[in-house]
Amino acid sequence: MKKVLISLFTLIIILGCKNAKVEKTPLAVNYPQTKSIDSVDTYFDTEIKDPYRWLEDDRSTETEDWVKEQNKVTFSYLDKIPFKSKIKNRLEKLWNYEKLTSPFKKGNYTYYYKNDGLQNQYVLYRKNLEGEEEVFLNPNTFSKDGTTSLSTIKFSKDGSLAAYLISEGGSDWRKAIVLDTKTKEVIGDTLVDIKFSDISWKGNEGFYYSSYDKPEGSELSAKTDQHKVYYHKLKTPQSSDELIYGGVETEKHRYVGASVTEDNTYLLISASTSTSGNKLFIKDLSIPNAPLVTILDHTETDSSVIENVDSKLYIVTNLNAPNKKIVTVDAANPTPDNWVDFIPETENVLSPNTGGGYFFAEYMVDAISKVYQYNYNGKLIREVKLPGIGSAGGFGGKKEDKDFYFSFSNYKTPGSYYKYNVESGEYNLYWTPEIDFNSDEYESNQVFYTSKDGTKIPMLITHKKGVELNGKNPTILYGYGGFNISLTPSFSITNAVWMEQGGIYAVPNLRGGGEYGKKWHDAGTKMQKQNVFDDFIAAAEYLIENKYTSSSFLALRGGSNGGLLVGATMTQRPDIAKVALPAVGVLDMLRYHTFTAGAGWAYDYGTANDSKEMFNYLKEYSPVHNVKEGVSYPATMVTTGDHDDRVVPAHSFKFAAELQAKQTGANPTLIRIETNAGHGAGTPVSKTIEQYADIFSFTLFNMGFKTLPNNN
């Protein structure tokens, strides 16, 4: 590819801002050369060229050099944006407040996470019975640059032991370390090569975990598709860990998890071939050499044991109940023909929890939380009147707890914690942040708009009060639409900074998500995936038609499956937005299933090998395969991490290369590659601030701003 010199002439528009400068500011982009190699795959007699296949090799020096050259161009561009430092300074200032998480009791201690303000990772603190505070675990000491993070910690039932998992450089591969909680001394060796796993203790003897055999080739991109459950006995080498499930062909699944019931009576194993649907098994741990008994022998539904009282099991399921329900059954005969409804299905999606001897049923009503409390006989005790309209979470604890904590937040209100008494139903504010952001100056409103096929879609739109609907407001339209994941209201410091600048933040609840249950999810999968893109496009059109913004001031943003959403939308409707921000996206839909655990996403996507019909459908929307010559695409900044082993960065590399080779017009097409970083979890605060300073400055600059809209 020849080097392309593009001059960016930013728009001369005053966006209702007295301080906006209007002079032209050309900004040149001299893209690195990306070589094109003849590589062709044949699907059902159709040849598909893949000229940037070489970028899939994450271990090659050529790919490493390409990353360095692309970053050099991208950061040179970003560093020339005059107000980037102001955005970064504001992010740092607003971020710099004390943050706590909900406390939880383990043994003789109460634990909680705290961040003093700008610490890269939250610190795990604890208090003893006398209320004396100490640091229990400080992930900021794990590595000099803050890129080693704590992914989870699990305590034995009596709280005397803890096992925690760490992630290095953002990778999904984990290491496990065991501590004596009283002395904080490490017990035994560090376990390695653990992936997509929880930790579940069996008494104080040991714990269950899951992993794959280490793949041949690159551990960051090689395919992993046979998950296994192991039991680790304390003070023994990992090499002697007992294989519990997944070692033979008949037990081959991509995702397998194990958990032990709170009373340590039963081992539960869930086995899935994809991200939706699971088999379910149970084993009585009180009987030596007890067999593994099947509860569900197919992966057509999602089911899990949430609680047990002796041999009585309480199971959450969407079997014949798309919005989920709770059923009961005896462990001796646990198959569905013996299930009895406990909390029946309703028209809203159920997400239950237990604590204090009660069940707490959280429902999503148009993506807004409602919570009801039931006793163990299934009797409704009360509706929990929440502090407002938004998202609640954390209703749960041990059976003996009489008080526990729940969280509440929405798009304009920072998350606060409340202490809840299970008997009276009363709660009091436990902690609320002291943050330099006045939520009273903002409003969040839910609207319903009509998608292409007539389906009504909810969307929450948040912004400063009194915003003028003149079509000139910088707006981020954020979406996901997949994997049964629900986007519910939550506060974000980064979004607060965006809204301080007069920005609008809009989040539609697209099909493919879980907001309205399994039917809503399935309506955005496989041969119906286009519904998700249509829903997103219709959201943009609603915002434009109602003068919240216009195409010149609209940015599309999404990550992972949401990165696919942005990539598909911008290639199908390049005219609809000024800026596109696909993050860690699934962008090559013909090859996604060949990397790491990607084949597990086939429930949502299907694969190019399934059928000629499925191949053609994927080819028609795959972002990498739909960048066309002679089209002016939005100003685009692709973002990814070089250690992303969930959605491998090759997706983003190939998409950026296609855009740079074919883009017509003045809009830049850049890729920002975070080094020593993965899919996003555990990203240090310092890196997050830098990322969003770059994202927001790129977005506003390409909307025509020479100074910040709110330049105070």
- Three-state SS string across 436-487, please? CCCHHHEEEEEEEEECCCCCEEEEEEEEECCCCCCCCCCEEEECCCCCCCCC
Q: What is the pLDDT at residue 681?
A: 55
Q: Are residues 189 and 178 in contact, defined by beta-carbon separation less than 8 angstroms? A: no
Question: Quick one: 116 exposed, middle or buried, by C-beta within 10 A (0-12, 13-18, 19+)?
Answer: exposed
CA 373 and chain centroid, separation = 28
At residue 149, the pLDDT reads 86
Amino acid at 543: L
What's residue 377's pLDDT?
Answer: 94
DSSP 709: S
* 210 flagged as catalytic: no
End-to-end CA gap in the chain: 44
- DSSP, res 663: B
Long-range contact pairs involving 240-246 (C-beta distance under 8 Å, separation at least 24): 244/208, 244/269, 245/269, 245/271, 245/281, 245/292, 246/271
What is the three-class DSSP state of 132? coil
Structure token pair of residue 672? 């920002």
Which pLDDT does position 219 carry in this prediction?
60
Close Cβ partners of 167 (under 8 Å, ≥ 6 residues apart)? 148, 149, 151, 173, 174, 678, 681, 682
Tell me the β-bridge partners of 127.
Answer: 110, 133
DSSP assignment letter at 215: P
Quick one: pLDDT at residue 223?
67
Q: Cα separation of 204 and 671, whole Å?
A: 48
Going by C-beta distance under 8 Å and a sequence separation of 6 or more, which residues neighbour residue 679? Answer: 170, 172, 560, 584, 641, 644, 645, 646, 647
What local confidence, expressed as pLDDT, does residue 282 receive?
98
For residue 34, the surrounding DSSP H or E stretch is none
Which residues of the chain have a pLDDT value below 70? 1-26, 217-223, 643-646, 676-682, 712
Would residue 679 show up in a list of annotated catalytic residues for this protein?
yes
- Return the structure tokens found at 34: 């990306």
Q: Which residues contact 210 (CB under 8 A, 6 or more apart)?
A: 194, 195, 196, 197, 198, 227, 228, 229, 230, 256, 257, 258
379-383 long-range contacts (CB < 8 A, ≥24 apart) are 381/425, 382/425
Which of 575, 569, 557, 633 shows the shortest CA–CA distance to 6? Answer: 633
Of residues 227, 253, 625, 679, which has the active-site annotation?
A: 679
Identify the active-site residue in 167, 272, 560, 622.
560
- Token duo for residue 1: 């590819």
Q: Looking at residue 128, what is its pLDDT?
A: 95
